[in-house]
Amino acid sequence: MKSTISYTSEVLRIEGGARLSGRVRVSGSKNATLPIIFATILTTQHCKIKDAPDLLDVENALELLRILGAEYQKEGNEILIDPSGVIKTSTPEDIVRKMRASILSMGPLLGRFRKARVSLPGGCSIGARPIDQHLKFFEKAGARVSVRGGFVNLEVNTKKPVEFTFDLITVTGTENALLYLASVEGQSTLKNVALEPEVMDLVHVLKKMGAEITLEGRELKIRGAEDLSGFNHRVIPDRIEAGTFLVAGSLSGYEIVIENVVSAHLKSVIEMLTQHGTHVSEEGMDSLRVTHNGSRKPLHIETSEYPGFPTDMQAQFCTMLSVTPGTSTVVENIFENRFQHISELNRMGANITIKGRKAFIRGVDQLWGATVNSTDLRASASLVLAGLIARGTTVVRDIYHLDRGYDKLEEKLKKLGAVIERLPEGQEI
Ligand code: EPZ
């Protein structure tokens, strides 16, 4: 007998107060895996991606590749892709709606087939997120770019090298340009590029495929090739997942050890945690030990492009600062609407006010469990962290946001001692 209740979504129920201890391994980076999946379009040879995280966004990217004609097998965290069958050059709207990173199919499709038709991504809850810089690059590179009926159409007759300067630093803008220029012979130059580790991991893969790429400051020189080869690549660890566990350790830890970390990717986050009074030490080649005893100091945080403090860690720090004595301030310089977690934290007893791009956080002694709504990936992580330290029970709803970017977060937290479980919506009471 089929159940009459159809659970459309799931929730996480968390009993606050547990102290965390033990070891946790961070998964591969979502934001490195996605552009690397699209890089496979540039070759007809087999490509292997190792340590890819098990995430909705990765599944969607692979689904898009299959729609375009590629084949793939996924065994655990290893993905084998055969892109030889790619023939389609149009990316459907529903996939782009589900995952805006699908816009990264523009560069490689134009590079391999000299044309691409990609649905315009809508905005999302954290901001309008226009792609004007992406299109400006393709035009400067000699493509004809037209926007019709919610789709971007790109076509180029002769691929030629280009010199282009971004008006602002954009991660996927830089990646889209790289994914195109890797297949363009001759010396191209990109200026004012993003330096995030995920962009550099893509550069690493494109060099394995046969492109020559050098970086100086914020200037990339690329000498592409028509015939690019397949590759075998282990993606870098997810620095934002690692940062999220650092905050969990600071808030709830006895002491936890986070494995599979490149600490150099977390310099600005570790600096702020140390200022806060949290103790972070390196253990072995790729682990960090985190604990917090004693007082917490308020902070002033300003998000900025890498190597500055990452916008993707802003929400998690708001949770930590909400129970820090004194007044902290957080300025969100990257996205225009990335404070939606604040109203949910205030429902749990936090005392945070927002003026424009600045949040004023007056520390309280205690958060209180409540039912809270997730609005975006990192906001949902901040609410889970709040649930870990709140008095009583917290229910975090709409956790599909979380599943887009965290690979089995509740299982990892449970292993560290958290009292947390995933339930179908409606069963949490
Ligand atoms: C990437 O988004 C990440 N996503 C984001 O992670 C991350 O928050 C962001 O970089 C900043 O670090 C992926 O890598 C898949 P941007 P992206 O282009 O590339 C404006 C997650 O879920 N802008 O660097 O879209 C834009 O509006 C996400 O993991 C333009 O105005 O970010 C924003 O204000 C959340 N015109 C700023 O630049 C453009 O053409 C930075 O955006 C492009 C961007």
Output the DSSP codes for 258-308: EES--GGGGHHHHHHHHHHT-EEEEETTTEEEEE--S-----EEEB-STTS
Q: Which of 170, 336, 401 to mutate to test the pocket of ligand 1 (most atoms within 8 A of CB)?
A: 170
Cα 406 from Cα 403, distance rounded (Å): 5
In this prediction the pTM is 0.96
DSSP-derived 3-state class of residue 363: coil
Among 143, 193, 148, 147, which residue's Cα sits nearest to residue 172? Answer: 193
Tell me if domain 10-27+237-424 and domain 30-234 are identical in fold: yes
Residues 6+ apart with CB under 8 A from 379: 315, 340, 341, 344, 401
What gap in Å lies between CA 113 and CA 175, rounded to an integer?
18
Q: What is the homologous superfamily of the domain 30-234 according to CATH? A: Enolpyruvate transferase domain (3.65.10.10)
Q: pLDDT tens digits, residue range 286-301?
A: 999 999 998 999 999 9
Residue among 379, 399, 400, 382 nearest 57 (CA): 400
> Where do the domains of the chain lie?
10-27+237-424, 30-234
18, 80, 95, 124: the active-site residue: 124
Ligand 1 close to Cβ of residue 170 (< 6 A) = yes
Q: Which fold has domain 10-27+237-424?
A: UDP-n-acetylglucosamine1-carboxyvinyl-transferase; Chain (3.65.10)
Determine whether 318 is an active site residue: no
Cα of 137 from ligand 1 centre, angstroms: 16
For the CA of 404, the nearest atom of ligand 1: 22
Task: Give tens-digit pLDDT for 110-123.
Answer: 999 999 999 988 76
Q: Is the CB of 134 under 6 A from ligand 1?
A: yes
What's the rounded Cα separation, in Å, for the pair 234 and 32? Answer: 10
Closest ligand 1 atom to 133 CA = 40
Per-residue pLDDT of the chain (429 residues; tens, 9 = 90+): 444 444 458 999 999 999 999 999 999 999 999 999 999 999 999 999 999 999 989 999 999 999 999 999 999 999 999 999 999 999 888 888 888 899 999 999 999 999 999 998 876 778 878 899 999 999 999 999 999 988 999 999 999 999 999 999 999 999 999 999 999 999 999 999 999 999 999 999 999 999 999 999 999 999 999 999 999 999 999 999 999 999 999 999 789 999 999 999 999 999 999 999 999 999 999 999 999 998 999 999 999 999 999 999 999 999 999 999 999 999 999 999 899 999 999 999 999 999 999 999 999 999 999 999 999 899 999 999 999 999 999 999 999 999 988 999 999 999 999 999 999 988 776
Give the span between the Cα atoms of 55 and 160, in whole angstroms: 36
Q: Give me the sign of the Cα torsion angle 254, 257, 261, 262.
A: positive
As a whole number of angstroms, the distance between CA 225 and CA 211 comes to 6
Element (H, E) at 189: strand 187-191
Which atom of ligand 1 is least distant from the CA of 335?
34
Contact 264 CB / ligand 1 (< 6 Å):
no
